[in-house]
Structures are given as C-alpha cells and as structure tokens.
C-alpha cells in the first residue's frame, strides 16, 4: 500500500529503487493523495508525464537533513505553502493564533512556518544554491505582485523577491508545470524559461515582452494608495487567457514579469487529471489529517467562477472561465468512492467554487475570452448570460442512480441568483427533493444594498425572493429543510447602522449564526484593495472601512446579539449608533435593559 503513494522519505525512495528524483515537492501541508489537494494533483500529473517526484511534506525547515535525504533532484524543487495561505491558516482575523491546523496530522498547529513559501524557498536556496526553485499554490499565486499584507499592515513585495526563487507558476497549473518540466529536462536553464504562459519571472534585462503593460513601480504602490488601486485594477482586468497581456512591475533595477495567463483546461484534460491514481486519503504514516473529512467522499465537478464577489480571489487563481468535467468522468470517480471500505452511501458534495456553474457563462468566451470591463452577473446579469442547469442536473441524476449510493448532497456554494434566473425550475425542484442534507448553505453576505453593491452581490430583494421560493418548494415536497445564510461583518462599506440593520433582519427570521465571519483582507481581492485604500477601485469614490478592533467587534457581536456573553458589547454598539430604542422589552428590541451594576462600600 505504501508504494501506492508517492515517496515521502529516503526509505520509500529506496523501496522504489530510486537513487534520486526529478523533483522534490516541498509542501506546507501533510501529504494527502486526493485531488482536492494541489500537491497531489501536480505530483500525479508530473508522474503521469514520466517524472519522478518525492513529497517533502511539512519538513523541519531548520534541519538540512530533511532535504539531504532525497539527494539533489535532477531538475529542481517545487515549493507550495499548501492548500491555504499559511498566514490565513495560522491566524484569525483578529490576528490571534489558531489552535488547530486541519491540514496537519492530528490537527497539530506549528508544523509549518509563517509565510511558508518564502521560508522553504530560502532554506532550499541555502542548502542547494544552484538548484531551480519553482513556486506554486495559492500563497504564491495571489502574492505574485506587490500586495497589501493584512498581518504586516503594509504593502509587501512580490513573493518572488522575498523567496529567492527562479520562477512562479500561478493559477491551476497542470499544463504549465509540465511545460516547465519538459524545458528543464531538455536542458534549458531555468533562467531562460521566460516564455511559458501562467508563469512569473524576474530579470535585470531592460527589454519587455511585446504588448506589455507596465504597472506602477513597487515604490509607487507602496507610497501611493491611488497607484496601488490603479495597479490592482490592471491586474484584475488581465486574468483572462484570451485577453490578458503580460504585466511588468519594477523594483529598482529588477523587474517582475507576469506572462499571459494559461488557458483553462479543456473538459478532456480535466477529466484526465481527475482520473489519475489518487489514493483518496492521507499517507499511511499519519494518524488522521482532519481536512480529508469534508472531501474524501466528494467530487470536484468544475473550476472557475464568473460570480464576481469582491472578497473572493478565485478569479485571480482559477479564472472566470468555467471548465466542467463530463458526466462519465464524475461517474467513474464516484464508482471508486463507492468501492472504498468506509463509504456509507453518501456522496457529500458535487461542486466546485460555485456548484451550479457547470458551463461557460456565454459561448463567446470559448473563442474570445471573458469581457475585461463587464462582469457576467454584477451589477445585473449580462444580456449574453446563458442560464442552464441541464448538464449538472444530468450528472446528479446519474450519480444518485449508482448502486450503493443512498444520497448525493450539494454542500459547496449554490449561487442563488443564477438559480433564480433559470426559467426552468427543474433543477431547483430536484435540489430540494434530493440534494440537501437538512440545511442548504447560501451566501447573501449582507442585507444592505449599499454594502452588497460593494461586495459584488445581487440586491437583497432577490435573496428575499429566493428564500420565499425555497420555503414554498419545501412545503410542496413535504421537506423540513432550512437555509443557513453566510454573512460577513465589517466588509468595506459597512457602517454600524448597516450592522444593526443586519441584526434586525436576523431577529426577524429568528436565526442566530453560530459562527460569524468578520471580513478578512487577503491578497488579490477587490475588497482588500478597498480595505487598504479606503476607495472603490472601480469608481475612485471613498469607501467607509471599519478598521478599529472596537468597531469590528461591535459589527461582529451584533450578528450574535442574543448571546448573553455579547450583551454589554451590543449595548455599547447601540449606544454609539444612537439606537437605544432597540434596548427594552418590545418585540422590535434586540436586547433587554442590562442589569444595574451596584457598587459597594468595602470599608463597612
């Protein structure tokens, strides 16, 4: 069984008869051989193209023997921080250290460093100065240019500058990494691999590629928030493989150059990627990696998102173009799942970034790409938007008909506005009848239309209509199923009055969220640009931003106003907003009057 996994140490290399490998892949995650993990996908794709790979998972970066055991790789090192940015993995929005790492054996925290991609790369460079070092994964992808860093509260340089690496692969990189590997195997020095789509490189040569867009310099974006916003919008509008152009960012006499984005995988290519021999679990040397729980019996059906949420970086990493797997491909993987000894009859999810986006938003994208200055859904649906759930529905029907399958659930996000735009209600009907595990999670995010506009979300009225339709269908099919709305507090644009409006809505629907997501500024999102610059990058208009710990706390606790632990903070917030009319015993009130705190004379 051990040899079914890629080797993680010298003993397992010896068992395969390998003296060296082509690549050592250093990862911030424990090794989980499942296609929900980027490390597994890249390693299996390279393996299928004839390359030998060793996985150096969560190494002790202070101990060179961790690297030395593999021998020096024939072609180079691949470095990723893991499935999640290491800083998000380690810290809450309040910058407090988390107590659990779901991507580590036993959930133990501390098995990877902060800024893991940088630390690993610097460690490798010191150990093997001449080696080719190639960065990838979400941490590298979203930090490929100068970016506002919430944890340092400043603009940091491109991760290529700090990591001392040679090349950065951004986005979903299956084809890109194979092209880079083929070039290295052909004897091309990594310094000369400057032509591959989906890569970023650095140079001191002052000749830009053709049709290059020159971004504001690092010095400019670091000192001028308007320049930062301008640079971000250029990057944001050049994420499409058809229309995107090379981008250049200068650091004194060094320049970071981003080549055009890689094309999205075709359906055949994506089907092939997911057919590779993943073991669908963690390496046998581990006891239990918690992150496997949600994905082991799930199917990834698509990539990309044309939803345009301001706080999401999917478009920067996976793009707006949707690629969906074929139904036969999903069925083949599902049959592997049903053969697993611990399968209980439930496929937990069939989806992706947005579950019900199962085809490009319009046919024009297939030959001309996505529009630079027009989103598909925001602020209103594009006239060219094609709304259909037919292919997705066909896949779900065939999946739930498989032997051993009791239920097929959809747990990844359903875009409710797209669902409501579909004039054919068949998918909505079958969603309610067959694919909800008691609760359907949706993401209205807020109820203030002014805030929703900045979030890139549809107006609240559409969500309200969706709720009524959902409830009616549950009554029609005699189902007792609920909605769990995802909501964000203190998003740019949200003032205290908006948070109170949201609290009143939660009271009206009798819903108290167990967990509240306070807005978390992460690299390469529109919302983070708003947070840092306090302006809307689209319009240049000022945007109110709650930045103090006190106000962010007020906005957060208002969403959990009924929690006894929050009463004094809720009172403070209402007093600050001059809304003490919401304190009392009336049906409209959020909290009851607080008990009088008596003082005592201890001298008696």
- Cβ atoms within 10 Å of 230's Cβ, excluding its own: 17
In the three-class reduction of DSSP (H, G, I as helix; E, B as strand; rest coil), residue 519 is classed as: coil
| Closest of 11, 7, 26, 145 to residue 78, by C-alpha | 26
Q: Report d(CA 173, CA 241) in Å as an integer.
A: 13
pLDDT in tens, 234-262: 999 999 999 999 999 999 999 999 999 99
Specify the 3-state DSSP secondary structure of 489.
strand
pLDDT of residue 604: 45
- Residue in the structure block whose two tokens are 């297939």: 366
Residues 6+ apart with CB under 8 A from 465: 420
Residues 6+ apart with CB under 8 A from 386: 359, 360, 361, 362, 363
Tokens found for residue 224: 């001028």
| DSSP code per residue over 310-342 | TT--HHHHT-SS-EE--HHHHHHHHHHHHTSTT
Question: Radius of gyration (Cα) for the chain, nearest Å?
Answer: 25
Q: What structural domains does the chain harbor?
A: 2-200+253-258 (3.40.50.280), 297-437 (3.30.750.210), 487-604 (no CATH)
283 and 33 Cβ atoms separated by less than 8 Å: yes
Whole-model pTM over 0.85: yes
pLDDT digits (tens, 9 = 90+) for 60-107: 999 999 999 999 999 999 999 999 999 999 999 999 999 999 999 999
φ, ψ at 162 (rounded to 5°): -80, -30
- The SS3 call for residue 123 is helix
* Contacts (Cβ under 8 Å, ≥6 apart) of 374: 382
Q: Mean pLDDT by 10-residue block, N- to C-terminus, for the chain (604 residues)?
A: 86 96 98 97 98 98 96 98 97 94 97 98 97 98 98 98 97 97 98 97 84 96 98 96 96 95 97 97 97 96 94 91 97 97 96 94 92 90 95 98 97 93 97 96 95 97 97 97 94 97 95 89 97 97 95 96 95 97 95 72 48
d(CA 215, CA 247): 7
Q: Which residues pair with 275 in a beta bridge?
A: none
Instruction: State the pLDDT at residue 208.
Output: 80
Cα–Cα dist 304/499, whole Å: 31
pLDDT of residue 599: 47
298 forms beta bridges with: 349
- Polymer length of the chain: 604
State phi, psi for 38 to the nearest 5 degrees. -60, -40
- Tell me the C-alpha distance between 185 and 73, whole Å: 12
Sign of CA dihedral 16, 22, 26, 32: negative
Are 242 and 532 spatial neighbours (Cβ–Cβ below 8 Å)?
no
Residue 333: how many CA atoms within 13 Å on its side-chain side? 30
Q: Which position has the token pair 């066909």?
A: 394
Residue closest to 21 by CA, chosen among 54, 69, 59, 44: 54
pLDDT of res. 514: 82
| pLDDT confidence of residue 600 | 47
What is the bridge-based pairing of β-strands 199-203 and 167-169? Answer: antiparallel
Residue 83 is predicted with a pLDDT of: 96
Pairing of strands 167-169, 133-136: parallel
Token look-up 């918690």 returns 290
- Longest C-alpha distance within the chain, in Å? 90
């Amino acid at each position: 069984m051990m040899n079914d996994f890629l080797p993680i140490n010298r003993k397992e290399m010896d068992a395969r008869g390998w003296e060296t490998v082509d690549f050592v892949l250093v990862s911030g995650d424990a090794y989980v051989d499942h296609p929900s993990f980027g490390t597994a996908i890249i390693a299996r794709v390279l393996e299928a193209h004839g390359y030998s790979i060793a996985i150096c998972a969560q190494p002790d970066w202070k101990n060179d023997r961790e690297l030395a055991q593999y021998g020096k790789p024939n072609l180079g090192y691949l470095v990723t921080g893991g499935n999640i940015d290491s800083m998000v993995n380690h810290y809450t929005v309040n910058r407090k250290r988390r107590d659990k790492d779901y991507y580590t054996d036993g959930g133990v925290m501390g098995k990877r460093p902060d800024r893991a991609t940088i630390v690993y790369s610097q460690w490798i460079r010191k150990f093997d100065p001449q080696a080719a070092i190639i960065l990838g994964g979400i941490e590298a992808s979203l930090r490929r240019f100068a970016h506002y860093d919430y944890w340092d509260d400043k603009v940091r340089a491109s991760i290529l500058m700090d990591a001392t690496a040679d090349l950065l692969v951004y986005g979903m990189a299956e084809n890109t990494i194979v092209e880079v590997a083929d070039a290295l195997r052909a004897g091309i020095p990594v310094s000369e691999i400057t032509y591959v789509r989906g890569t970023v490189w650095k140079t001191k040569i002052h000749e830009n590629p053709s049709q290059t867009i020159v971004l504001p310099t690092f010095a400019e974006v670091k000192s001028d928030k308007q320049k930062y916003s301008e640079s971000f919008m250029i990057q944001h509008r050049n994420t499409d493989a058809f229309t995107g152009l090379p981008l250049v960012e200068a650091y004194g006499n060094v320049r970071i150059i981003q080549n055009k984005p890689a094309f999205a995988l075709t359906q055949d290519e994506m089907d092939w990627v997911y057919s590779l021999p993943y073991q669908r679990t963690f390496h046998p040397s581990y006891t239990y990696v918690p992150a496997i729980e949600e994905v082991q019996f799930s199917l990834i059906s698509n990539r990309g998102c044309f939803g345009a949420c301001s706080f999401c970086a999917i478009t920067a990493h996976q793009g707006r173009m949707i690629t969906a797997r074929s139904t036969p491909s999903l069925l083949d993987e599902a049959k592997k799942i049903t053969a697993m000894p611990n399968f209980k009859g439930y496929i937990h999810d069939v989806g992706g970034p947005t579950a019900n986006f199962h085809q490009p938003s319009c046919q024009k994208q297939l030959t001309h790409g996505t529009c630079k200055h027009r989103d598909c859904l925001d602020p209103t649906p594009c006239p060219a938007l094609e709304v259909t759930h037919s292919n997705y529905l066909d896949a779900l029907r065939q999946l739930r008909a498989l032997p051993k399958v009791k239920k097929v659930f959809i747990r990844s996000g359903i875009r409710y506005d797209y669902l409501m735009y579909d004039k054919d209600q068949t998918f909505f009907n079958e969603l309610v009848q067959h694919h909800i595990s008691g609760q359907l999670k949706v993401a209205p995010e807020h109820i203030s239309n002014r805030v929703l506009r900045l979030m890139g979300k549809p107006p609240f009225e559409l969500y309200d209509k969706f709720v009524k339709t959902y409830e009616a269908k549950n009554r029609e099919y005699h189902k007792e199923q609920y909605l769990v709305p995802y909501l964000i507090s203190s998003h740019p644009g949200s003032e205290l009055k908006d948070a109170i409006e949201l609290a009143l809505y939660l009271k009206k629907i009798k819903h108290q969220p167990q967990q509240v997501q306070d807005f978390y500024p992460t690299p390469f999102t529109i919302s983070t640009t708003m947070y840092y610059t306090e302006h809307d990058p689209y319009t240049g208009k000022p945007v109110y931003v709650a930045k103090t710990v006190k106000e962010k706390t007020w906005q957060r606790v208002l969403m959990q106003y009924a929690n006894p632990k929050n009463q004094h903070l809720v009172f403070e917030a209402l007093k600050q907003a001059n809304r003490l009319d919401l304190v009392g015993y009336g049906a409209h009130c959020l909290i009851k009057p607080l008990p009088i705190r008596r003082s005592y004379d201890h001298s008696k």
